[in-house]
Structure 1
Amino acid sequence: MTKKQLFCMILLFGFVSSKAQQNSGKYSVGFAYGLGSEFNNKDYTFENHFYKLQVYYLLKEAKHFQFQILIQPEINFAKHQLLNLYFVKPEAADFEHKRAAYTQLKDIREYVMNIGFVVRKPIGKTFSCYFLGSIGPMITDTETERMSKGFAFADVLALGFSADIQSFQFDIRPSLRHVSNAGLGNSNAGYNTKNIEFGISYRL
C-alpha cells in the first residue's frame, strides 16, 4: 500500500469519525483483522489476510432487531498460485508463456471499499448475533489467470457474534467472500474464499 493510499484511507476514516461524533449513540468506529483461504480445489491456491477500518451507523432499532449500515475500507494481502496449468487453454494467445507466468506464486494487493448491511439480534444486555452482507468496489494490483488487474468487486456474506463491554464491542465472524470483475476485464473466474474475522469497535 502506498503512502498516498494509506493517507486517503486515514483521511476518510477521520472524516467519518468526526461526523459520527455529532450523532452520539448511533455510530461506532473500529478495526478488524481477518484471514482465510480458498475452498479446496485442484486449480489454484489462494491465501489471504486483511485489515479493515469499520464505521457502523444504527439505521433503525426495532423491538427484537437492530439494523445497521457498515462501511469498511480494506486492504487485503493475498498469495495465489495456479496449480492446474490446463486452466489456460491452448486456444489462448501465447498460452505457453501464460502458463509459465501464471503458475508462479504471486503476491496480490487488493484495495476495497466495502459497504454492508447488518441485521443484529441482541441476546440479553451483553451479547448479540448478526448477519452481514456487503459489496464494494475494489482495485487489484496483479493480473492472474483468474482475474484481470484493475477494477473488480468484493462480495461478503457473514454470520457474527458480538460481546459489549462498556462502550466497546468485540466481534468474531466467519465469512464467505467472492471476488470478480463482473465481466469488465478479460479474465473473470474470480476467487472464492472462506474467512474468519476479529473486530473491535467503540460506540460514540
Structure 2
Amino acid sequence: MGAFLGAALQQDAATMQELANADYIQHSPFIPNGLDPFIGLLPVLKVHGTMAENIRMFKDGDYVFMHNIWRNAAPFGADEMVSFDIIRVDENGKVAEHWDAMTPLATETASGRTQTDGPAKITDYISAESYAQHNHRADNKTHPRRRKHPSPPAGAKNQSNRDGAPFSLPKGKGTQDGRSPCPASCLGHLGSSQAVA
C-alpha cells in the first residue's frame, strides 16, 4: 500500500493503474468512484506541492490502515491535514475500496499530545489502564472511552454487525470469550494486525 501512496505522490499514473482497480469504490467526499477521477486530481496536488508523511500503516486481512500528515494540503481544506485512511484490497492484491477521514492539523490539544504521536507499531490491544487520547478536542479525563461502562442487563443481546452476527476477535483478544468490547467502528482491536513496512 505504501507503493500506491508513493505512486500517487510521484504522479505515477501507470503504477497506480497497476496497483488499483479502474472501478475501485471511493468513499472520500473529494473524489468520485473509480481510479480516473483520482488520477485527475494529481495535477491539482502537484500545483500545490501536496505531500504526505506516513506516520503508521497496519494491515489486517484485506484491509490496510494508514495514518498520514498531509502538507500543502489546501486542496483538502487546510495547509496541513491529518488523515486516517482505510483501504480494502481484493483477492488479487489491488486497491478495491477506500475510506478516509481528514481534519486540520491542530497545534494545541486538550490532551497535550499531537494527533499523530505515540507508537507506530502494534504491541498490545487497547487497554483501559493505558489509554492515551490523541483527539485534539478531548482530554483523558473527559473522553467517553475513559469512563467505566456498566455491564449489560441480564439477557441483553450482544452487539452485532449488520448481518446480526456478534463482533468477534480471535480467542484471547478482547473479552474472555473472544467478543470485542466495542463496535466494528472501534479500530483499536485489529485482531491479527501487523505493521506494514
TM-score by length of 2: 0.29
Higher share in strand: 1
Structure of higher RCO (CA pairs closer than 8 Å, 6+ residues apart) = 1
TM-score by length of 1: 0.28
